[in-house]
Every structure is written in structure tokens, then in C-alpha cells.
């Protein structure tokens, strides 16, 4: 709970202060602080929900947490369109964060974690992921299964206007609007995948289904079917939906480890995946386009093939965690 409290506090204060910045440096500092706050909030929340709910309801609970939270990006788009004042948008975000903070104070601490606090075991030691071969392998696999999310958002959707130019010429695609459609899809997918996981009684089968949808949506993105702005937005929404496995991916990361490392895994794994966008961009732009002189479409397709291949291999070697008992510690 202390991680959640601190994360939301940092994010709320930084958001509110961003509405009053007077220089680029101040803006960068405020966004940096907000990023630190946001980085810990989702993982800690997923961990808390996982430990509080019965094991046969964990997937649905964590999906609702992540899916509803992702609708925030959609509301942010419409808030800006309605106010047309970016400073006011940040102030609104800060006030909403304070409201969330007040709600989180009433949430009970996990009983599992309370028990671990009374034991003589190391808690939150990041080095424990690297000093044991089995734990290290599980940790790396948990990171790699989430890569397609940021390939889709960070490359395909973010550069949708440029891809549209290459695919069908003159266009009026707004990347911000494309991101909004993608996040609608992600939020819906994140909520639905929890129920899909419950139906299959398997985290991995649900992931494989959404990976297949990601591949199909990616093929449509680069095909002749993507021939106008309306279809581009629709495909961005489909790509978002198909990569709406963020909740299950983070939940699987939490379920892989004992109570003394669970929150550390759930907070670091998604942030390493976010950082993976930097490496994907190095591959996509710096190597394929700048060094090798490949065109945009070829670079995008090749990067996607590499990312999906790595992810599918990692998913195959990832442990199934549906219904796993979480009341244990790592030694």
C-alpha cells in the first residue's frame, strides 16, 4: 500500500504542477517525476488485487483494474478536445489523482504481505532475479511476452500518418486520434482477456489468442486493405484490442514469483517492456532505415516479425500461472 500511496502522490503532484510550468526544463522535470509515480502504480495495484482476490478470480480482477485505467488515455484525448487548454488538462489530472489517492487509503493491505513482513526473508531485492538461474529465466520470459504492446503503440500507431502516406498517399490521419482509437481497443481488450482467461482456465491460451489477433491486425495494417483514413483508424483500434493483454501479462509476471518479490516483479517487468521501445526504435529506425536505407514499410514489417517471433518463443517457455497458489516466498 505504501508503494501505491507514494506512486499516486508523485503522479498527482507532478501532474498538477505541470499546469503551471513556465519553461521547457520545468516541464521536463515535472513529467519525469510524474513518470516515476506512474511507473509504480500499475504493478503495485495488480499485485495487491492478485493477493486479495481468490485465485479463480484473479484474472478478471486485474483485467478490470488495467482496462478501466487505460480508458484514462481516451478521456484525456476528449478532455483536451473539449477544453483546448493543455495546462487545464494537467490540472484536472492532478485533481483526479488526489481523488484517487483518497480512495486508495481505504484499500486493505494484503494479508500475504503482512505475513511475510514477520518472516526473516529479503523483500524487494532486485538482485534475487539475477542470482538464481530459474528465477532469471522466468523474469526474462515475463518481460519478452509483453513486447508487442509497445511495438504497436510506439511504432505503428504513433507513426500511423507516415505509414498512411506510404500505403495510400495523401491523408489526414491524426496520430493523436489514432492513439485514442488504439487505447479504446486496448482498454476493451484488457477487460475482455480476463474473462477469456477464465473461460480457457489458462493465461497462456488467452495470450496465444490475442497474439494471433495481433498478427492478423498487423497484416491488415500493411496490406492493400488499409487504403483510406477510416480504415487506418479502424485498424489502429483493432491493433489496440489485439494487444490488450497488458493486464494478463503483468498478472503473469506477478504470479511467477513469491510474495517477497511479487510487487518488485510486477512493477519492474512492465517498465522494462516500456523501455524496450527504445531498442525497437533502434532496430526500426537507426539500423533498418538510417544505416541500411530500408523504406518505412519494410522496416516496420521486419521489426514486427522479429518482435512477434521473440514473443512467441518466450510465451512457449513461460510457466502457466492460472490458479497458482501465491502464498509462498522466494529464498
What are the structural domain ranges in the chain? 2-107+128-316
**C-alpha cell read off for 45:** 495495484
With H, G, I as helix, E, B as strand and everything else as coil, classify residue 1.
coil
Name the least confident of 52-56, 202-206, 226-230, 242-246: 52-56
Query: Cell 484514462, residue?
Result: 72
Q: Does domain 2-107+128-316 have CATH number 1.20.1250.20?
A: yes
pTM: 0.87
**C-alpha cell read off for 245:** 493483454
pLDDT at 235 over 90: yes
pLDDT in tens, 55-83: 778 888 878 877 777 777 777 878 888 88
Contact 73, 179 (CB under 8 A): yes
Name the least confident of 140-154, 207-221, 247-261: 247-261
Give whole-number Cα distances, 206 to 151, 192, 194, 196, in Å.
20, 10, 8, 6
Amino acid at each position: 500500500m505504501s508503494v501505491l500511496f507514494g506512486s499516486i502522490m508523485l503522479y498527482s503532484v507532478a501532474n498538477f504542477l505541470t499546469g503551471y510550468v513556465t519553461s521547457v526544463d520545468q516541464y521536463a522535470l515535472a513529467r519525469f517525476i510524474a513518470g516515476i509515480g506512474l511507473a509504480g502504480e500499475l504493478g503495485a495495484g495488480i499485485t495487491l488485487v492478485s493477493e486479495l482476490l481468490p485465485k479463480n478470480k484473479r484474472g478478471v480482477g486485474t483485467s478490470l483494474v488495467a482496462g478501466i485505467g487505460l480508458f484514462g488515455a481516451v478521456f484525456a484525448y476528449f478532455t483536451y478536445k473539449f477544453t483546448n487548454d493543455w495546462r487545464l488538462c494537467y490540472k484536472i489530472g492532478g485533481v483526479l489523482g488526489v481523488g484517487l489517492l483518497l480512495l486508495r487509503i481505504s484499500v486493505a493491505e494484503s494479508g500475504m504481505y503482512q505475513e511475510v513482513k514477520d518472516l526473516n526473508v529479503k523483500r524487494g531485492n532486485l538482485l534475487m532475479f539475477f542470482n538464481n538461474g530459474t528465477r532469471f529465466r522466468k523474469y526474462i520470459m515475463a518481460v519478452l511476452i509483453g513486447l508487442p504492446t509497445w511495438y504497436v503503440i510506439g511504432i505503428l500507431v504513433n507513426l500511423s500518418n507516415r505509414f498512411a502516406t506510404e500505403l495510400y498517399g495523401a491523408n489526414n490521419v491524426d496520430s493523436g486520434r489514432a492513439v485514442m482509437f488504439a487505447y479504446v481497443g486496448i482498454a476493451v481488450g484488457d477487460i475482455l482477456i480476463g474473462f477469456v482467461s477464465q473461460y480457457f482456465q489458462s493465461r497462456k491460451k488467452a495470450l496465444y489468442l490475442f497474439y494471433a489477433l495481433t498478427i492478423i491486425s498487423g497484416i491488415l495494417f500493411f496490406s492493400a486493405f488499409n487504403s483510406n483514413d477510416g480504415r487506418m483508424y479502424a485498424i489502429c483500434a483493432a491493433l489496440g484490442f489485439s494487444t490488450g493483454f497488458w493486464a494478463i501479462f503483468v498478472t503473469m509476471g506477478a504470479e511467477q514469483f513469491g510474495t517477497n518479490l511479487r510487487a518488485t516483479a510486477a512493477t519492474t517487468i512492465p517498465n522494462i517492456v516500456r523501455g524496450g521501445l527504445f531498442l525497437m526504435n533502434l532496430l526500426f529506425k537507426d539500423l533498418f532505415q538510417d544505416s541500411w536505407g530500408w523504406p518505412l514499410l519494410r522496416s516496420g514489417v521486419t521489426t514486427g516479425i522479429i518482435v512477434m517471433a521473440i514473443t512467441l518463443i518466450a510465451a512457449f517457455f513461460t510457466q502457466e500461472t492460472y490458479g497458482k497458489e501465491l502464498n509462498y516466498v522466494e529464498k
